[in-house]
Amino acid sequence: MMQSQQYNSAANANPTQRYMIGVDVGGTKIEAVLLDDAAQVLAIARVPARRGADLVVEDIATLARTVGADHWDDVAQVGIGIPGQVDWKTGQVGHVVNLDIVELDLADQVSAQLGGIPVHVENDVNAAAVGAAAVLHEDEEAIAFLNLGTGLAVGLINNGRIMHGASGSAGEIGHIPIDPNRFECPCGQRGCLETVCSGSAVAQLWPTDDGRPPMPDLIARARAGEPAAQRVLAKVKHALGDAVQIVAQAVDPNTIIVGGGMARTGQPLLDAMSEELSARAANCAFLESLQLPARLKLAPADEPTGAIGAALAARV
């Protein structure tokens, strides 16, 4: 009875507020979308990222007004996905190194620029997890989004809700120090998984002199028989295997969505990961029973999943 009263009263107060805006803040670009209540993208806009707290707030607000222009009075909320330390309960962010932000009341400042509209801020990997799951129509109980970007991190969704963890660090597997190469990590540890298993790590391990993305080149040359490429790829595949086993055996998600910049490699990346996991399972009935290759799925490459997820994360 209580529940339905609350529902009616909310519906009466805002009978048509059903649009959502999502903004994905990255190190190089900021992208915004307007969604209807079926999560369809009605408008999209992006600008190159500018550094510094004031410019970031200004760019987010401008993009939100741009995509929301035709329906402004019916926009219920704005969701933002951003890297760095994010307190999703307060909307405060810290240490967004790529954008020269030390500390910022992001939700409050953007809300103030937009006439007081509710603003929700989420970690960018969590937002990407929500967006990728929505675009792929994944609605299983447990979903992991393995982000192979500048760093390595996982976004976890359980029963439709982001798992933040006690300190907001759920899914921060990139700094588990178990890689056998024992490379030094800028975090201060040695052997962090992301020193081998991330886009920036592969760019260091396999530099391409013409600016092409390194992972497709590395896989192609290893397949063509180049010993140096095979050695480097073996390291990367090993770290990818460790990352997937950690996620699968700690959390056991139905689906592991592979995303981030490195996932633009596409099917050859998924094939390399499946090979590694199948080889590991060859002698282990337990691992074989987990059927990990069948759980892998590529994130959609051509959709604004980060911005879509930022909008939806504000709702869930």
* Whole-angstrom Cα Rg for the chain: 20
Vertex 294: Cα angle to 288 and 295 (nearest 5): 105
Q: Quickly count: other Cβ atoms within 10 Å of residue 195's Cβ.
A: 27
- Is residue 92 within the footprint of its own copies (CB under 8 A)? no
Work out which of 172, 217, 226, 271 binds its own copies, going by CB under 8 A.
Answer: 172
- Is residue 200 within the footprint of its own copies (CB under 8 A)? no
Work out which of 97, 178, 220, 228 binds its own copies, going by CB under 8 A.
Answer: 178
- Is residue 176 within the footprint of its own copies (CB under 8 A)? yes
Report the distance separating Cα 26 and Cα 60, nearest Å.
11
Residue for token pair 């975090």? 187
Binding span for its own copies by CB under 8 A among 11-19, 37-45, 117-125, 168-176: 168-176
Q: List the one residue out of 101, 70, 73 whose CA is nearest residue 86.
A: 101
- Is residue 245 within the footprint of its own copies (CB under 8 A)? yes
- Is residue 168 within the footprint of its own copies (CB under 8 A)? yes
Binding span for its own copies by CB under 8 A among 109-117, 134-142, 223-231, 297-305: 134-142
Q: Quickly count: other Cβ atoms within 10 Å of residue 85's Cβ.
A: 14
Is 71 exposed, middle or buried, given 0-12, 13-18 or 19+ CB atoms closer than 10 A? middle
Q: What is the 3-state secondary structure (H, E, C) of 103-126?
A: EECHHHHHHHHCCCCCEEEEEHHH
CA 103 to chain centre: 21
Instruction: Look at residue 274 and give its three-state secondary structure.
Output: helix
Q: Which is nearer to its own copies, 41 or 287 (CB)?
A: 287
- Is residue 289 within the footprint of its own copies (CB under 8 A)? yes
Work out which of 120, 235, 295, 297 binds its own copies, going by CB under 8 A.
Answer: 295
- Is residue 136 within the footprint of its own copies (CB under 8 A)? no
- Is residue 97 within the footprint of its own copies (CB under 8 A)? no
Q: Which two tokens stand for residue 64?
A: 């939100």
Is 194:152 a contact under the CB 8 Å cutoff? yes
Vertex 162: Cα angle to 178 and 153 (nearest 5): 25
Report the distance separating Cα 94 and Cα 133, nearest Å.
27
Q: Which two tokens stand for residue 7?
A: 């529902």
- Is residue 204 within the footprint of its own copies (CB under 8 A)? no
- Closest distance of CB 54 from its own copies, Å: 26
Work out which of 248, 257, 273, 307 binds its own copies, going by CB under 8 A.
Answer: 248
- Closest distance of CB 152 from its own copies, Å: 11
Work out which of 51, 141, 208, 278 binds its own copies, going by CB under 8 A.
Answer: 141
- Is residue 254 within the footprint of its own copies (CB under 8 A)? yes
Q: Which is nearer to its own copies, 47 or 287 (CB)?
A: 287
- Closest distance of CB 116 from its own copies, Å: 30
Q: List the one residue out of 296, 247, 258, 251 whose CA is nearest residue 274.
A: 296
- Is residue 234 within the footprint of its own copies (CB under 8 A)? no
Work out which of 54, 103, 140, 275 binds its own copies, going by CB under 8 A.
Answer: 140
Q: Which two tokens stand for residue 297?
A: 């799925």
Q: Which is nearer to its own copies, 253 or 261 (CB)?
A: 253
Q: Footprint of its own copies on this chain (CB under 8 A)?
A: 1, 140-142, 154, 158, 163-173, 175-178, 180, 187-189, 242, 245-254, 280, 283-287, 289-291, 295
